[in-house]
Structure 1
Amino acid sequence: MDPRTPTRRDVVVEELHGHRVEDPYRWLEADDACDEWLADQERRLAEEAGGWTGRPVFRSLLRSFADAGGAAGHVASPPVVRGGRRFSLRGGAGREHPVLVVADAGRDERVVVDPVALDASGRTTLDLWRPSWSGRLLAYQVSSRGSEDPVLDVVDVADGRRVCPPVRPGRATAVAWLPGDAGFYYVTCPAAGDRQVRLRLLGSGEDVVVFTTDARQLSVFTSPDGRRLVVSSAPGTQCGNRVHLADLTTTTARAPGFRLVHDGTATGVQALVKFGPHGLLYGITTDQASGGAICLVDPDHPATAAWTPLITPGEGGVLSGCAALVEPGAGDVGSVRFLVSSVRRGVARLSLHDGAGRLLTEVDAPGADHGTIMKLTAPPGEADEAWFTYTDFVTPPTVHRFSLRDRRCHLDAPAADPPRHDRPRAVVRQVSYASQDGTEVPLFLICPADRGPGPHPTLLTAYGGFGATAAPAYSPTILAWVASGGVYAIAGVRGGGELGPAWHAAGRGVNKPNAFADYAAAARWLVAGGVTTPDRLAVKGASHSGLMVATGITRDHGLYAAAVCSGAPTDMVRYPRLGIGQWWLTEFGDPRDPAHLDVLLGYSPYHRVRPGTRYPAVLMITARTDPRVGAAHTRKFTAALQHATTSGKPVVLRCEDGVGHGPRAASRWIDVEADALAFCATHTGLDPGA
């Protein structure tokens, strides 16, 4: 054992529902009490990182691939069309953050919001933005140093002049504009207490509360004609919600008369009301449709029980987007067309339907067999074209425009800068494997095209939570690993959204252990199939994906050679007290409930660390202060592993100041990813220089 290994001092022991729960590193929860400990961790890291010889190679590869279209580099978003203006995000080679640009009719793009112009240090991010229906005003939100406590500003797009005092909503908030630029609705998120929808009337100097709830998820929308207001609330992410609808022509913007049109909180059913041309109301729901259904909504009888199903994605399919368009030259509701995106086993699909839901044609989608279509959107009013983003594992995100005139998709956004390094020739395969209970789980393998027979250094990852889908997407991290000769594996374990809401439910709450069983089964499948061996297999993840890693190495430590765990919840007994963990009770369960606590203690990584165990090499990563997860999770788990491991392999912590849980400047992102890949390469035998 390293003589500097932290001792288990001031061990806190609690009796919780019949369990004796030890917490030897409770003292590391205090941000202001661990400076000396963090300084020692920084020295450990510096000593260990000197042996990561692959860092310069990975840094160069990541920069090149990011400049060509990665999340930290080149960005081109579908345009948001308001009035005669088109708003988009734009990135570029060497740029630290994307900028928000606007193009007036017949004019070149110009920058409206540049985070680096606001903060030259690169520690300010543009979180959300929404132009008014006229396009004259813009509401945008920025946060600094990872705080996730943004400032909401409203400016005149023409001259950048601030038009009202800024708002501090507590977290990034939805913004829904009234017509005529009269004001906007936004959501407050106080540290404690109820959430609210408030109306800010420009020029009035007051904010009016129009809706209050104790639900953790809250969003607000208005129709382009200003007639309708929709509020959606839910106790958690990707679980059943409530939808309230108000007609602002019969009530007022200050006192909307809400009607409850959907309540799926008891059944887990989700619903969403959307607006189309000619006053069309339509909805998307998971009621009796595991992959979602598009339905017609009668404005006079808007309750979901009266919705008329029009379109479903078919067996095994999951809806991913819908845009309502109008045939060119037509002028009635019968000319409405629905452009629908869906996905089935990682294959993106576009289809065009008439207003009654009948299939008119399958639309040729861009890209490879396994890809992702996202952010499908159309301008308000009688639009005959829509935009979306396409990406896959080797294709940077590109914006495409669909036109009703020729029923075809056209590349719309300017091409990204070419990478300095050739993108690797990669073979992408989707397979399935059996989990311990026999459930078939999908898995993507991204391999070098010229690889010989295995075993190979392999990186395994999975998200497995909150109904989020690990969809095919361009990743500089994946390409850098594959370009260096490694295999990258992505498991679509239960708890994610790969197969719809039922797949999420099968790995949520008391079912959460299914996700970890699927993860371990993926590792065993890779080994049994000769893809890799335990001494060449690394696992990597951040946030909930990091929980998968932490659980994996405490559950099956002999399966892995190395692990990188970033910003993850690891103390599943105290997680509601750290960061915003109290928001996640529907995902993980409530430790105050004896049945839930039994499950949580069964997998909680911090509580499953056992002294005398030969743990793999571990790189823990956290921000100095993480307002979302809570940096204490990472600190406590690091200390526990350092005290317990007898493998002789390093357990080190990388802690960074001035950032948070979410996005960071491109150069900072490249630095942390290069460290993570170099660490994995060092301990799996991958030589990126070769």
Structure 2
Amino acid sequence: MHDQHLKSLICGALFVLSQNFAPAQPPKTRTSPTTDTYHGVDVVDNYRWLEDWNDAEVKRWSEAQNAYARDYLDALPDVDAIRKRVTEVMSAEQVSYSSVRHAAGQFFAMKRQPPKEQPFLVTFESLDHPDRARVLFDPNTVDAEGTTSVDWFEPSPDGSLVAISLSSGGSEIGDVTVIDTTDGRQVFEVVPRVNSGTAGGDLAWAPDGEGFYYTRHPRPGERDEVDLNFYQQLYFHRLGTDSTEDRFELGKGFPRIAEIEVEVHQQSGNVLCNVQNGDGGEFAHYVRRADGQWTQISRFGDKLVQATFEPSGAILAITRQGAPRGKIVRLPTITSKGALIDPLIPEGEDTVVTSFYRAPPSLVATENRIYVTYQLGGPSEVRVFDRDGNALPKPRQLPISSVDGIEPLGGDDILFYNSSYVDPTQWMHHDASNQMTRKTRLSSESPVDMSDVHVTREFAISKDGTKVPVNIMRPASVNGPGPLVLYGYGGYGINLTPRFNASNKVLFEQGVTYVVANLRGGGEYGEAWHLDGNLTKKQNVFDDFAAAARYLIDNNYTTSDQLAIMGGSNGGLLMGATLTQHPDLARCVLSSVGIYDMLRVELSPNGSFNIPEFGTVKNPEHFKAMRAYSPLHNVIDQTEYPAVIFFTGANDPRVDPMQSRKMTARLQAASVSGLPVLLRTSANAGHGGDSGLSQKIEQMVDTCAFLFHHLGVTVRPIPPSSGSADRS
């Protein structure tokens, strides 16, 4: 132990000598012990005071931390060269499209066109001519700083109008504006508080286009301030009327943490309402007939997790009742006892993907076809069945890739997007009449060439013997152990699927390998995989990630001194747990908008929604499990922790920034490694998904500079990009 400590001191001294600047000390953080008692266990919190963002002292502390982080990051080697390259890659004017919708012969999509800060809404008439698109709404023209964003949009059935949820500053608190698609003018009234960063939001037009069903959050004065982002209900708004007169539809008995999605069958006017109980994956479903009568067709706990209308008006649903990987049934198939009849498409070896929170649908019914997205342990694919559930040839898709965004085009044709780790998004048109799949002109081109990056899929063995997939992206020029970034998430049944990220080229061209681990807690192998990594089994996620890291070290991909780990949100919790449980596993840690105080998280605005996933301190078994892995409560004084940078957004509605503040203070006080613990708080930013381009560039610059320095990467000059290779 003495020799190890001496070695650490020598390494720390060499680290200091390697800097071209004098290392400043982090700002002093006072302690003010507060003791809570949970089930007879006393827990001391020295940094409770950092929770109050309205406290001027907290803001001064945060500003001092930002200044300390900036002084450190700006003085790192090769920052100017890194910024030049990152900006070149991320600002390259390469157009991409997302959220493509089809209505009345028109296409609607969000168009991203760097160097514009935010994507903007366009419409066009042909998949072969997106170049003829008209701009309907551009948030960049109303906010040059890029802090206003489109949360989502929904075109009316005849395509003459489009409803847009707009929010600002990363808040995700969205008001709905209606746009006339002929000229982009705002028409009619604004409907406030449709979307929130906690419960989300949704909207579906009535068949006549004269109004819409929408999710309504309480308005000031209707509930206590602490409840304004809860108690989501379903209302109907008639265009041309004041929203205070809107008709209540459903939700008075819903849980406080209800999250709602709504769909309208355009031929009959029937309405389908999907309700999730927080973020834990339990759903209830309701149908409204044309006479206005609502009928509940499933309850929380029935394991019916997703439903959608067929063109005929029947309902298709995904259920996990007796089928943890999912099966497809046609309703009405629920008896008075809640049992389901034989499935239309039975459970198979692979997992049926489910979607929520305005995610692109994973189950789509056309006139004579049923399209289902399947998860293959990380990669995903779309499969095709006839109306009787018989398998048909599937569309052409990339290897080790993901599919998403299925959009019906009329008849049995669909549009979907397909992406891999090294191939940018391809929007594919599947012609059901001849089983042909073609790439459309909506497909993206890349500003970089990934043809020299090799992708392999291998498996680590976790502590309990579970096989954990690791997806390895390795530059062809790399042989033997080298710098490597390991990314993970593992929660909420979310699948980490192959996604193209051009900015990763900045890592690859400096010889850095990038790896994504598919951990328990996700949904890559079905609900059993998810449940084996949540509530009291959350430790399995951390064990899986540590096993992936050790696999990469043992198989000569990297060493502990050349390993960085990275994650965000629930993946930030993963980072915190990994660095406290295995402080010598990695050289540096990059953690974004993470959760670190598991005993206080449920008290934050979005914390209640997390209870079905993490548990509650009110339950003694949940408390015991959370206390055992809670990063904040497992930091040990006089420990040699790796270099750490925490990223957070001042307006984050999903994970309270106080989580990052408290964890930063605790680690700065405890670590004796001589390596930095930094906190970088972005103003006018939230959870990160809707950040402007310039914000994303600056975070990537800091990420690369921090990584390269601590992993010993000497930055090589890179010639100007020569464009992408055609890998289709």
- Using structure 2 for the length normalisation, give the TM-score: 0.87
- Pick from 242, 261, 273 the counterpart of residue 297 of structure 2: 261
Of 667-676 and 153-162, more deviation after overlay is shown by 153-162
Equivalent runs, 1:613-652 vs 2, <5 Å = 613-652=639-678
- Residue correspondence of structure 1 range 392-407 to structure 2 within 5 A: 392-407=420-435
Superposition deviation, residue 435 in structure 1: 0.6
Match of 1:375 in 2: 405
The match for 1:359 among 388, 391, 398 is 391
Q: Distance in 1 between matches of 2:595 and 2:217?
A: 21
Q: Could you tell me which of 9, 16, 23 is aligned with 2:45?
A: 23
Structure 1 residue ranges without an equivalent (≥5) = 327-335
CA shift for structure 1 position 530: 1.6
1:92 aligns with 2:110: no
Query: In the alignment, is the contact (CA less than 8 A) between 1:396 and 1:474 conserved in 2?
Result: yes
Shift of 1:408: 1.2
What CA distance in whole angstroms lies between the structure 2 residues aligned with 1:96 and 1:281? 40
Counterpart check, 1:231 vs 2:273: yes
What is the aligned residue count? Answer: 664
Question: Which amino acid in structure 2 is aligned with residue 359 of structure 1?
Answer: A
In the other structure, the counterpart of 2:326 is 292
User: SS at 1:87's partner residue?
Assistant: strand
317-326 or 615-624, which moves further after superposition?
317-326
CA distance, structure 2, for counterparts of residue 2 and residue 637 of structure 1? 19
User: 152, 165, 180: which one pairs with 2:176?
Assistant: 152
Alignment counterpart, residue 314 of structure 1, candidates 348, 357, 361:
348
2:263 to 209, 221, 224: 221
Alignment of 1:492-507 (within 5 A): 492-507=518-533
The answer to whether the aligner puts 1:195 opposite 2:232 as a matched pair is yes
Query: Alpha-carbon deviation of 1:5?
Result: 4.9
Give the corresponding residue for 2:64.
40
**Structure 1 segment 489-528 matched on structure 2, within 5 A:** 489-528=515-554
Alpha-carbon distance between aligned partners in 2 of 1:155 and 1:525, rounded to the nearest angstrom: 53
Cα gap change, 1:624 to 1:338, in 2 (>3 Å): closer
Q: 1:417 to 1:364 in 2, by over 3 A?
A: closer
Letter in 2 for 1:513: Q
Structure 2 CA distance for aligned equivalents of residues 605 and 621 of structure 1: 16
AA matched with 2:324:
S
Q: Does 1:80 align with 2:115?
A: no
Match of 1:576, SS?
A: helix
Matched, 1:657 2:683: yes
Structure 1 residues 109, 304: CA separation in 2 closer, same or farther (over 3 Å shift)?
farther
- With structure 1 as the length reference, what TM-score do the two structures score? 0.91
Match among 246, 251, 261 for residue 207 of structure 1: 246
> Paired residue for 1:333?
none
CA contact (8 A) 2:458 2:470 kept: yes
Which residue number corresponds to residue 6 of structure 2? none
Q: For residue 64 of structure 1, report the CA deviation from its aligned partner.
A: 4.5
What is the CA distance between 1:2 and its match in structure 2? 7.3
- Say which SS state the counterpart of residue 393 (structure 2) adopts: strand
Aligned match of 2:190 in 161, 165, 177? 165
Alignment pair present for 1:270 and 2:304: yes
SS in 1 for 2:577: helix
Matched letter for residue 495 of structure 1: G
Is the 2:380–2:497 Cα contact (8 Å) retained in structure 1? no
Is 1:485 the equivalent of 2:511? yes
Decide whether aligned partners of structure 1 residues 293 and 537 sit closer, same or farther in structure 2, where only a CA change above 3 A counts: same
SS at match of 1:558: coil
* Secondary structure of 2:668 counterpart: helix
Residue type of the partner of 2:477? D
Cα separation, 2, equivalents of 1:619 and 1:345: 30
- Structure-1 separation of matches of 2:618 and 2:469: 34
Residue of structure 1 equivalent to 2:208: 180
Report the RMSD for the aligned CA atoms in angstroms: 2.4
Whether the 8 Å CA contact 1:458–1:489 is kept in 2: the answer is yes
**Contact 1:231/1:245 (CA < 8 Å) preserved in 2?**
yes
SS of 2:235's equivalent in the other structure is strand
The counterpart of 1:134, out of the listed 158, 171, 175, is 158
1:330 match: none
Relative to 1, partners in 2 of residues 1:271 and 1:3: Cα closer, same or farther, differing over 3 Å? closer
> Cα distance, 1:14 vs. partner?
1.7
Distance 1:62-1:415 versus aligned 2 partners, 3 A rule: farther
Q: Secondary structure at the match of 2:556?
A: coil
Contact preservation (8 Å) 1:92, 1:416: no
Q: Are the counterparts in 2 of residues 387 and 400 from structure 1 also a CA contact under 8 Å?
A: yes
- Residue 599 to residue 181, structure 1, CA distance change in 2 (3 Å): same
Deviation at 1:679, TM superposition (A): 0.5
- For the 8 Å contact 1:123–1:146, the answer to whether it is kept is yes
Matched, 1:569 2:595: yes
Task: Tell me how far 1:660 sits from its aligned partner.
Answer: 1.0
Q: Distance in 2 between matches of 1:262 and 1:305?
A: 10
AA in 2 matched with 1:230: L
How far did 1:307 drift? 4.9
Greater shift, 665-674 or 99-108, is seen at: 99-108
Q: Distance in 1 between matches of 2:390 and 2:175?
A: 45
**1:242-290 Cα distance to aligned partner (Å, 9 max, x none):** 1111211xx23xxxx2222112x336x2332212223343222222223
Q: Structure 1 residues 498 and 363, CA, compared in 2 at 3 Å: closer, same or farther?
A: same
For residues 397-434 of structure 1, the C-alpha deviation after alignment (integer angstroms, 9 at most, x for no partner) is 12111111221111113454551x43361111111111
Q: Deviations over 1:279-318 (max 9, x none)?
A: 3432222222233222222499899734552224631343
Distance 1:383 1:304, change over 3 A: farther
Instruction: After superposition, give the CA deviation of every residue in 1:311-369 in whole Å (9 maximum; x if it has no partner).
Output: 2463134346333334xxxxxxxxx122333232344434332211112323322x2x2
Q: Residues of 2 paired with 1:342 and 1:162: CA distance?
A: 41
Q: 1:176 to 1:299 in 2, by over 3 A?
A: farther
Q: Deviations over 1:647-685 (max 9, x none)?
A: 001111111111111321112101102211220111111
- The answer to whether the Cα contact below 8 Å between 1:433 and 1:440 also exists between their aligned partners in 2 is yes
* Secondary structure class of the residue paired with 1:143: strand
Deviation at 1:102, TM superposition (A): 1.1
For 1:300 and 1:285, how far apart are their aligned partners in 2? 11
Q: Is the 8 A contact 1:261 1:303 kept in 2?
A: no
Equivalent residue letter for 2:375: V
Amino acid at match of 2:304: Q
Q: Give yes or no for contact 1:338–1:353 (8 Å, CA) kept in 2.
A: yes
CA distance in 1, matches of 2:352, 2:443: 30
Residues 156-211 of structure 1: per-residue CA shift (max 9 Å, x gap):
22232322233223514100111111211111234515221111122343211111
Q: Quick check: 1:131–1:138 contact (8 Å CA) kept in 2?
A: yes
3 and 77 in structure 1: CA distance in 2 versus 1, 3 angstrom threshold: closer
Q: Does the 8 Å contact 2:643/2:675 carry over to 1?
A: yes
Q: Aligned equivalents of 2:636 and 2:235: distance in 1?
A: 50
**Offset at 1:4?**
5.0
Distance 1:556 1:300, change over 3 A: closer
Alpha carbons 2:375, 2:525 under 8 Å: kept: no
Distance in 1 of aligned mates of 2:646 and 2:44:
22
Contiguous gaps of at least 5 residues in structure 2: 1-22, 219-225, 355-361, 718-728
Cα distance 1:308–1:203, how it changes in 2: closer, same or farther (>3 A)? farther
Structure 1's 522 and 340: CA in aligned 2 closer, same or farther, altered over 3 A?
A: same
Per-residue CA shift, 1:371-394, capped at 9, x if unaligned? 001111204xx5231000111101
Task: Verify the 8 A CA contact 2:78 2:715 in the aligned structure 1.
Answer: yes
